[in-house]
């Protein structure tokens, strides 16, 4: 949410942000409804003042036993009451329309955000590592997972429908190992951990900027105004909603490992094979609250992005960091980086991480403030980052580290979490030979 006074003074900038983010908002219409509600509110205040004054006059006339005058004043008061009721109806209509439009207002974007319409217009910032070169025919993660006996998509579909899966044995252990590695990295960086609710109310989704524009991506709880979360960012920010947080000792750093749910409406036929785009997944999320300082929140954006990069480097996976363009950003985002990791089965990089700086957009909606040095209350800046998302991260992990004999090399950083083992081995060599035929 942006401050309305600021919107009035920066109409063209806000409209440009809406256009670049492909949000159907007319700022001129918003200003018109805002003007109407303010005019109606002023009129209602005048009518209430008149009503209060006439009430006093009626009281005085009754004390002086001026019944005729008191009756005339009552008639006048009745007219004012009727006018006030009509004005309140008109104000509520204007206010509702104003609130609907305000929920569509996007965050502005940073000056260094690329202008574009889709992820094809994102700009590479840096890369680390080189794509794996194989002297044998590599397998994709689905075949690798089957041969290792750790992935069963067919039974996932049988039980829960398309884009569901089972991780078994070492597949379960591998996912937990990657998650614990990410948590250990974040703990060293001063993050506090939270176990969070996986169901939240509508207000939490609105306050964090996921509703109304992202509602079709969520799973509603039938008969309740509650929704399964698609990221623990929602309950983590919701934890501080309405609070005056203490930032005297520095930014608040919160993290959570949670199961997440997304309906992925509109993605039919796009990246739906295997584990890339599934309905249920797990994510280690970083959330940061800091002072309303552009330099500080930019510094923190770089820090949380580097944290995700450190995890990928520990996993020995090649990746590139992309500056996300305006058309690929969400409504709430001021500046964003995506990290794309090399996936041999796709013969391309695929998104595995995302870092965002929201400035005070989310904090205004959630009413999260802090007390500045002069004692004044200000809205925080908020940031978030995917430290690790699974099972998607298993795609590059399995595919990049596969060996000719069908085994999968385990990076040094993962071995303490995998009983000291240095590789995963196929359950059956005959199955591997059959796969490569």
Rounded Cα distance between 209 and 237, Å, is 11
Is residue 277 annotated as a catalytic residue, yes or no?
A: yes
Name the token pair of 221.
């709880």
Distance (Å, whole) CA 361 – CA 383: 10
Map 321-383 to HEC letters: EEECCHHHCCCCCCEEEEEEEEECCCCEEEEEEEEEECCCHHHHHHCCEEECCCCCEEECEEE
309 is catalytic: no
126 is catalytic: no
Q: How far is the C-alpha of 380 from the C-alpha of 293, rounded, in Å?
A: 9
Residue carrying the six token digits 């992925």: 264
146, 262, 365, 369: which one is catalytic? 262
Q: Is 245 left (phi over 0), alpha (psi -120 to 50) or beta?
A: beta
DSSP bridge pairs for 126: 321
Which sign does the torsion angle of CA 73, 79, 82, 87 carry? negative
Residue 299 sits at the vertex; the CA angle it makes with 258 and 285, to the nearest 5 degrees, is 5
381 φ/ψ sector (left φ>0, alpha ψ -120 to 50, else beta)? beta
Closest CA to 161 of 46, 270, 327, 280: 280
Residue 354 falls in the annotated catalytic set: yes
Which phi and psi angles does 201 have, rounded to 5°?
-80, 165
To the query of whether residue 262 is one of the catalytic residues in this protein, the response is yes
User: Of 127, 277, 291, 371, which one is the catalytic site residue?
Assistant: 277
Q: Of the listed 365, 392, 399, 407, which one is catalytic?
A: 392
Of 256, 354, 356, 407, which residue is the catalytic one? 354
Q: Which of 351, 355, 399, 407 is catalytic?
A: 351
* DSSP-derived pairing of the beta strands 335-343 and 369-371: unpaired
* E-state strands within 82-161: 123-128, 151-152
Q: How far is 155 from 352, CA to CA, in rounded Å?
A: 25
Catalytic center residues: 262, 277, 351, 354, 392
């Amino acid at each position: 949410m942006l401050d309305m006074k600021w919107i009035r003074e920066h109409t063209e900038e806000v409209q440009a942000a809406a256009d670049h983010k492909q949000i159907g908002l007319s700022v001129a219409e918003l200003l018109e409804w805002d003007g109407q509600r303010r005019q109606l509110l002023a009129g209602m205040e005048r009518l209430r003042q008149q009503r209060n004054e006439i009430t006093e006059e009626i009281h005085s006339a009754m004390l002086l036993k001026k019944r005729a005058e008191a009756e005339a004043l009552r008639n006048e008061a009745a007219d004012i009451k009727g006018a006030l009721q009509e004005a309140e109806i008109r104000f509520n209509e204007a206010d509702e329309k104003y609130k609907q439009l305000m929920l569509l207002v996007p965050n502005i974007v940073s000056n260094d955000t690329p202008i574009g319409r889709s992820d094809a217009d994102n700009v590479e910032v840096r890369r680390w590592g080189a794509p794996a070169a194989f002297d044998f025919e590599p397998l994709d993660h689905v075949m690798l997972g089957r041969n290792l006996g750790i992935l069963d998509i067919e039974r996932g579909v049988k039980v829960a429908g398309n884009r569901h899966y089972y991780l078994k044995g070492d597949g379960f252990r591998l996912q937990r190992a990657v998650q614990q590695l990410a948590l250990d990295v974040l703990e060293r960086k001063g993050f506090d951990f939270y176990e969070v609710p996986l169901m939240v109310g509508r207000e939490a989704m609105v306050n964090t900027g996921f509703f109304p524009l992202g509602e079709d991506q969520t799973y509603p709880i039938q008969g309740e105004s509650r929704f399964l979360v698609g990221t623990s960012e929602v309950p983590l920010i919701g934890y501080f909603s309405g609070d005056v947080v203490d930032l005297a000792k520095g930014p608040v750093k919160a993290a959570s490992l949670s199961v997440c749910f997304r309906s992925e409406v509109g993605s039919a036929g796009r990246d739906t094979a295997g584990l890339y785009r599934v309905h249920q997944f797990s994510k280690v999320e970083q959330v940061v609250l800091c002072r309303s300082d552009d330099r500080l929140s930019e510094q923190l954006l770089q820090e949380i992005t580097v944290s995700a990069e450190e995890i990928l480097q520990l996993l020995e996976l090649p990746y590139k960091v992309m500056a996300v363009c305006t058309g690929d950003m969400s409504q709430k985002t001021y500046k964003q980086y995506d990290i794309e990791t090399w996936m041999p089965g796709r013969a391309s990089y695929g998104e595995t991480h995302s870092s965002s700086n929201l400035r005070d957009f989310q904090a205004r909606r959630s009413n999260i403030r802090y007390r500045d040095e002069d004692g004044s209350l200000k809205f925080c800046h908020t940031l978030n980052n995917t430290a690790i998302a699974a099972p998607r991260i298993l795609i590059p992990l399995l595919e990049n580290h596969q060996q000719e004999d069908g085994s999968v090399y385990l990076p040094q950083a993962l071995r303490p979490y995998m009983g000291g083992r240095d590789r995963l081995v196929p359950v059956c060599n005959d199955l591997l030979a059959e796969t490569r035929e």
